[in-house]
Amino acid sequence: MTKQSVGTEELIRERLEVVRGRVAEALRESGRGPDEVRILVAGKYYAPEQMDALAGAGVDLLGENKAEDLLRKQETFGDAFEWHFIGHLQRRKAKDVVPRVALIHSVDSARLVEELSRRAPEEGVEVLIQVNVSGEESKYGVEEGEIEPLLEATVRTEGKVRARGFATLAPLVERAEDVRYVFAKLRAIRDRLESSWSPHFDLSELSMGMSNDYRVAVEEGATIIRIGRALIEDTEEVRS
């Protein structure tokens, strides 16, 4: 490992500890347990030569947005991370993604569910339903009224596609408080549906919150947050 990569690893470790500390604080303040949130690092912000530094610094959960990046990085770094897919998934890419990830965060159509079912291994594939809570046209995801038909589509796969919860992306804003409503609404949707769908699915996961708003997301019930450039760039969110 070069001196530069050692320096990168130290920087990432320091900033990861800041994020962990702020997640822990948000969990305490909201009355949640200390282990209820996982930190996912968005791999698209990190070059292949930075991946060793991520692993060395203690990052264990990596999310990729593109199938090509997932394949390229996983072939080199394999079991160094738990791999998730967090980008918009095209049906033609499903065959490449399904056998390589533990969770897909971006299921938003019955046709995609059908394709995932065809590509699923014997143990099935776990997914999150992506919900466009904010209604932004630029964001993928289903509307609230489309969620249950999509859950019904997953039931029809007879266990090949298993819904684990929901994901959403909030609008980019200067004040995290301005998007609290997005996270609160997704939690309310999950809470409303959880009991009625419990015979089929464990809908406990909520993937929501990014570098600029993860503390608010944790306060509102996030179980997975996404961190991007914050581990290598100087932002307010990682200054101690």
Closest CA to 218 of 20, 1, 85, 65: 20
Mutual angle of helices 147-155 and 180-197, in 10-degree steps: 40
- In which domain, by residue range, is 227 found? 3-238
Q: How confident is the model at residue 240 (pLDDT cuts 50, 70, 90)?
A: very low
Q: In the chain, what are the helix, strand and coil shares in percent, each to the nearest 5?
A: 50, 15, 35
pLDDT tens digits along 149-183: 999 999 999 999 999 999 999 999 999 999 999 99
pLDDT tens digits, one per residue of 198-214: 999 999 999 999 999 99
Angle at which helix 147-155 crosses helix 110-119, to 10 degrees, equals: 20
pTM of the model: 0.94
Q: What is the domain-level CATH number for residue 185?
A: 3.20.20.10
Q: How many structural domains compose the chain?
A: 1
